[in-house]
Amino acid sequence: MNILEQILDVKRKDMEDMDAIAGTIQPFNTLSLKDSLSSSGISVIAEIKMKSPSEGDIFPNADPMQIAKDYESAGASAISVLTDEQFFGGHINILKSVKDVVSIPVLRKDFIINSQQIMESGAANADAFLLIAEAITDQNISELINFGKELNLEALVEIHSEENAEIVAEISPDIVGVNCRNLKTMITDISYFDKMVKQLPVNSIKVAESGIKKGDELKYVSDLGYDAVLVGTSLMRTKYPGKALECLLEGVV
C-alpha cells in the first residue's frame, strides 16, 4: 500500500462522520485561479505546508498568515494551503485565516473525494480545490469539477501517471497539474515534466508540481510550456519562505 492509499483510507473513514449536503446550493464569491495563472511568464502557486509523509517536519511552528502575506509580496500568483491534519499538519481553519489576509486566489490542497469536501472548501473561503486523478475515478473527476463550478470553485486536476494523463486529456479541465513525485517511492524527478507535457490538454492551464527548488528549474518547466508551478517544501524548509520565493523568482519573472 503506497502513501496515497494510506491517506485515502483515513480520509474515507473521516468522511463517514461528515454531514451530508442539505438545502439549496448557493455559489460562493470567489477569485479565479485560472485567470491568476494566465498572465505572461511563469506563475507560482506558493504552498503552506507544515510537514509531509516524505519530508517529516518541514516548518511545524510556522505562522501561516505571515507566510501568506510574504508570499503575496514576493510575487506569488496564488497560495496553496494543505488542510489535511494527520499527514500534513494542516487544518481547514488555516485556510480561512490565510484567505483573510491576502488578495490572491487560495487553493485548498487536500484529498478531495466527495462533494461535501468541496462545500466545506467554499465555506472556508477557498477559491479552488485540488483533485488527484489517482484518488478518484474518471467519472467522479468530471462530477466533482462540475459540482465545484456550480459553487464558483475551480478545480486543479493533478496527475501522477501516464495512464491518468489520457483520462484527464479527455476531460480537458481548465487547470491540470503534473506532479513529478513517484507515489511508490516518494522521490521527485523533474524530467518527468518533459515526458508528460505533450500529453496534456492543449487549452488547459498547465501546472508543474513538486521538485522545483532553483531558478533554472523554474525556467526549465517554463520553457517546456508550463504556465505555472506549485512550490512548497523547498520554500518552507528555509524557515523564510517569502524570501525564498523572491530568490526563486529573481531573473525568471
pLDDT at 19: 58
* Structure confidence at residue 18 (pLDDT): 64
Active site residue 114: no
pLDDT at position 8 = 80
Active-site hit among 11, 36, 43, 49 = 49
Q: One of 34, 36, 43, 47 is an active-site residue; which one?
A: 47
Q: Which backbone phi and psi does 15 adopt, to 5 degrees? A: -65, -25
Whether 209 sits among the annotated catalytic residues: the reply is: yes
Is 158 among the residues known to form the active site? Answer: yes
Parts of the chain with a pLDDT under 50: none
pLDDT the model gives residue 70? 98
Would you state the pLDDT for residue 3? 76
pLDDT of residue 191: 96
pLDDT tens digits for range 229-248: 999 999 999 999 999 999 99
Residue 31: per-residue pLDDT: 98
| 179 given a catalytic annotation | yes
Establish whether 195 is a catalytic residue.
no
Question: What is the pLDDT, as a whole number, of residue 22?
Answer: 52
pLDDT computed for residue 251 by the predictor: 60
**Residue 210 is a catalytic residue:** yes
Which residue out of 52, 109, 120, 121 is catalytically annotated? 109
What is the pLDDT, as a whole number, of residue 21?
58
Q: Which domains, and CATH codes, for the chain?
A: 3-13+31-249 (3.20.20.70)
